[in-house]
Amino acid sequence: MKEPSIPIEFGGILSSLFEGFTSRNLDTAPQINYEPLIDVFSTDDCIVIEMEMPGVKKEDIEVSFMQNVITIKGIKYECCYDKKMKFVCMERSFGRFCKNIELNSPIDTARLKAVYMDGILKITLPKFSDRRGVQKKIHVE
């Protein structure tokens, strides 16, 4: 018995997949399909996040912090636009990314810092110092 064939419209699928890549607006870009690698480490006074993003432009990165969650969004565009090129091998990833990192320490939001240099985004999140365990003398009047 022969199974019925289902027509697939590749044009619609492919056009929706690449929709938004011509604009630099992060909110209109297509689905998330690129995941930069991150390192998160803690010192006595801060939490540091380092994210590898070679080829990403600074203006295509958005960092926000709300309710102990830091969100890093952006987009990495393809660098080759020549229609005559035929790839033999393509291992690099391109596209939109979004990473949410939940923190378990209270953060001093007034001193947050993000620096992007040489393809690495470094975010420094200063911790609030906990003074509840420090003894303080109180003058008696």
**pLDDT one-digit tens code per residue, 98-122:** 999 999 888 888 899 999 999 999 9
From residue 20, give the alpha-carbon distance in Å to each of 9, 51, 95: 20, 24, 10
> Nearest-CA neighbor of 64 among 53, 75, 74, 72?
72
Q: Looking at the whole model, is its pTM more than 0.75? A: no
> Nearest-CA neighbor of 103 among 28, 22, 48, 61?
48
**pLDDT one-digit tens code per residue, 63-93:** 999 988 999 999 888 776 667 777 777 767 7
User: Which residues are 93's β-sheet partners?
Assistant: none
Residue 113, Cβ neighbours under 10 Å: how many? Answer: 11
The C-alpha atoms of residue 88 and residue 85 are separated, in whole angstroms, by: 10
Q: Do 122 and 49 form a contact (C-beta atoms < 8 A)?
A: yes
